Chain A
Amino acid sequence: MKQKSKNTLSDLIDLALTFFKIGAFTFGGGYAMISIIEREAVTKKKWIESEEMLNVIAIAESTPGPIALNMATYLGAKVAGFVGAFIASVSVLLPALIIITLISAFLTPFFDNQYLRYAFLGMRAGVSALVLNAVINLGGFLKKEKRPAVFAILFISLVFSILSAFNILGFDNIFIIVGAILIGLFYTFIQDKYKKNNKLNSTKDKGNKL
C-alpha cells in the first residue's frame, strides 16, 4: 500500500515535469507539439504504445479545445487517473501562462523586433522537420499493415486534407475524422454480418449433412 502511494506520487511529479517541459518547448502550434509529446510519452517514458498514441491524437483532434491540452488530459488520466489528468493539463498550460504574463507585464515592445521575426522565419524550417518526423515515427505501424482498406483510407484522407489545406476544397479536418469514424463503423458492421452469414451457412451445411 505504502509502495503504491509512493509510486503514484512519483508518477504525478513525473507527469508535472514532463508536461511542463512539453508546454515550454513547443513553438509553432499544435502539430509541432504532437511530435514533442510523442517523443516524451511513447519513446522516453513508455506511457503509451505508438498505435494508441494515434488514437489519442484522433480523439484530441475531434473533441473541443486545444489539441495539446486534450492530449495532456488523456495521457495524465492514463498514467494516474483523475488527479493525473488534472496535473498534466495544468502543467502543459503553465509555461505559456507564465511567459505571456511576464511579457504583458514587462516586455511588450520587444515583440515588434525585426530580428525576432527573422529568427522565427528560420525556426519554421525546424518546425516543418519536426512535424515530418512525427509522421514517420507515428506511421511506423503501416509497415506491418496488410489490409488494403487501411491504405485506401490513408490515400483518401490525404487527398481531401491536401485539397482543403491548399484551399481547393473547403473541407475541415473534423469532416475527415467523422468520415473515418463512419467508415470504421460501417466496415465493422459489414464484416460482422459477413461472418455471421458464414457461420449460419456452415451450420446449415452441417444440418443438411446430418
Chain B
Amino acid sequence: MNILLDLFLSFFKISLFTVGGGYAMIPLIQSTVIGKGWIDAETLINFIGIAESTPGVFAINIGTFIGYDLAGILGVISAATGILLPPFIIILCIFYIARKFSSNKYVIGVFLFLRPAVIALIFTAFLSIAYSTIFISKNDAGIDFNWFGLILMVLSFIGMRKCKKVHPVVFLFISAALGLLFYGFII
C-alpha cells in the first residue's frame, strides 16, 4: 500500500479507537507502529520522552515524528489528517445534536451528573501528577519523598491563584528553571 495512505489510515484508526486521549493512546500507537515495523520499541520509548517535553497534543507529536521519518512533510500531513478527522467529524455531529436538544430534560439531566464526574476526574489527574512530582522512584531503591517538588508545587499554585493576570505558562517555565537548578546543580 502507498505509504501516505497507510499512514493516514493507521492514524485515523488510532484516533478513532482511543477514547480519553493522551496516554490512553499509547498502547494502540505502540501495537500499530511497532507492528508495521515503522519504529522499534526503544526508539518509541525515547520518543515518548520527547513528546512529553514538547508542547501540544501527544498523538500529533508521535504522528508527526513517524510521518516525517517515513515520508517527510507529506508523511506528516497524512498522519496529522488521519488523527484530526475522526474527532472532527464526531464532535461536529455532537455539537449540532447537543444544540438542537439542549433544552431536552434528559440532556439537561445527563449533564447535571456529568459535571461533578468530570470535576472528580480532573482532580484525580491532579493527584496522580502530584504523586509523581512528590514521590520520585529512584531505580529500585524504593520511593523517595521529594520535598523540593512539593514546595515548588505549592508555590506555583499560590502564584497562579494570586497573580491571575500572569499567564500560567510563566509558572511552568519558572518551575522548569528551578528544577534544572535544583536537580542539576544542588543535589
B100 nearest CB across to chain A (Å): 13
Does any Cβ of B come within 8 Å of A17's Cβ? no
In the bound complex, do residue A135 and residue B126 qualify as a contact, i.e. CB atoms below 8 Å apart? yes
Q: Does the CB pair A131–B129 fall under 8 Å? A: yes
Q: Which residues of chain B are near A27, meaning CB under 8 Å?
A: 52-55, 172
On A, residues with C-beta under 8 Å from B are: 23-31, 33-36, 39, 51, 54-55, 57-70, 73-74, 77-78, 82, 85-86, 89-90, 92-93, 95-97, 99-101, 103-105, 111-112, 114-136, 138-139, 141-142, 147, 149-151, 153-154, 157-158, 161-162, 165-166, 172-174, 176-177, 179-181, 183-185, 187-189, 191-192
**B171 & A96 in contact (Cβ 8 Å cutoff):** no
Structural contact, A64 and B87, CB atoms closer than 8 A:
yes
For the complex, would chain A's binding face be called helix, strand, loop or mixed by DSSP majority? helix
Overall SS of chain B's interface: helix
Q: Which residues of A contact B94 (CB under 8 A)?
A: 59, 63, 74
- B1 within 8 Å of A (CB atoms): no
Cross-chain contact B112 with A96 (CB below 8 angstroms): no
For this complex, 5 residue pairs linking A to B, each with C-beta atoms less than 8 Å apart, are A65-B16, A65-B83, A104-B68, A147-B112, A157-B116
Known A133-B160, A142-B116; contact A125-B175, beta-carbon cutoff 8 A: yes
Interface string of B89-106 (1 = CB under 8 A from A): 011101110100000011
- Please determine whether B172 and A23 come into contact, CB atoms closer than 8 angstroms: no
Q: Interface range on chain B: under 10, 10 to 19, 20 to 34, or 35 or more?
A: 35 or more
User: Is the Cβ of A77 less than 8 Å from the Cβ of B176?
Assistant: no
Contact (Cβ within 8 A) B21 A30:
yes
B172–A99 contact, CB under 8 A? no
Question: How many angstroms from the CA of A137 to the CA of B76 in the assembled complex?
Answer: 36
Query: Nearest chain B CB to A74's CB is how many angstroms away?
Result: 5
Distance of A79 from chain B, by nearest CB (Å): 11
Residues of B within 8 A of A67 (CB): 20-22
CB neighbours (8 Å) of B17 from chain A are 64
Interface residue? B59 (CB, 8 A): yes
A111–B49 CB distance below 8 A: yes
Bound form: Cα–Cα A105–B179 in Å: 28
Residues of B within 8 A of A30 (CB): 21-22, 58
A65 contact set on B, CB distance < 8 A:
15-16, 18, 21, 59, 83, 86-87, 90-91
| B69-A104 in contact (CB<8A) | yes
- Give the residues in chain A near B172, CB-CB below 8 Å: 27-28, 123, 126-127, 130
Contact B168 A104 (CB under 8 A): no
CB distance B15 to A64 under 8 Å? yes
The answer to whether A133 touches B20 (Cβ under 8 A) is no
B10 at the interface (CB under 8 A from A): no
